Copies of this chain bind each other. A is one copy, B any other.
Amino acid sequence: MENVIVKFKDFLKSHNFLWSKEREIITEQVIDNDYHFTADDLFIQLNQKGKNISRATVYRTLDLLEKSHFVSRIQMQSGKHLYEHIFGHEHHDHLICQECGKIIEFQCEGIEELQKKVALENNFRMTGHCLKIYGICSDCQKKKETKNESEREGE
């Protein structure tokens, strides 16, 4: 993933931003996170490694990583933002379990195409989208079933 560092450097240079030790450390930590994380997760991870980088710099760098499309940001219902790096990842959307919080990723070419169609029909120049499907994952469905069974027995 050295490649990513190089590309991010290029992005910064071409937009008159500078490279810095802090941005390097943060980017490396982002690469280490193979799943969804919050800005504060990252801040704490860095702290635990003895890297004393301020919250503000973490937020600022995540903004830059988002603008350069190395990271994507998802708004959760709770109001929190989750980030995920998208180096080598293909675009995907999310199923979110309202019981346990689990996030399942999926890709659906049909939905992607229909979105483009909708945008076109509305003379809308689409730059991005966000699709979240809420519900209950299979594990939590099972848990609920067994819970209901044992309750019935208990009566």
> What residues make up the interface of A, taking CB atoms closer than 8 Å to B?
75-77, 79, 81, 95, 97-98, 104, 106, 108, 110-111, 114-115, 117-119, 121-138, 141
**Of all chain B residues, which has the CB nearest A76?**
B75
Is the beta-carbon distance between A95 and B118 smaller than 8 angstroms? yes
Which residues of chain B are near A129, meaning CB under 8 Å?
131-134
The CA of A119 and the CA of B104, in the complex, are separated in Å by 10
Which residues of chain B are near A128, meaning CB under 8 Å?
133-135
Max chain B C-beta neighbours (<10 A), residue from A81, A123, A133, A135:
A133
**Of all chain B residues, which has the CB nearest A99?**
B125
The CA of A98 and the CA of B106, in the complex, are separated in Å by 26
User: Given A79-B75, A95-B119, A131-B131, are A124 and B110 also a contact pair (CB < 8 Å)?
Assistant: no
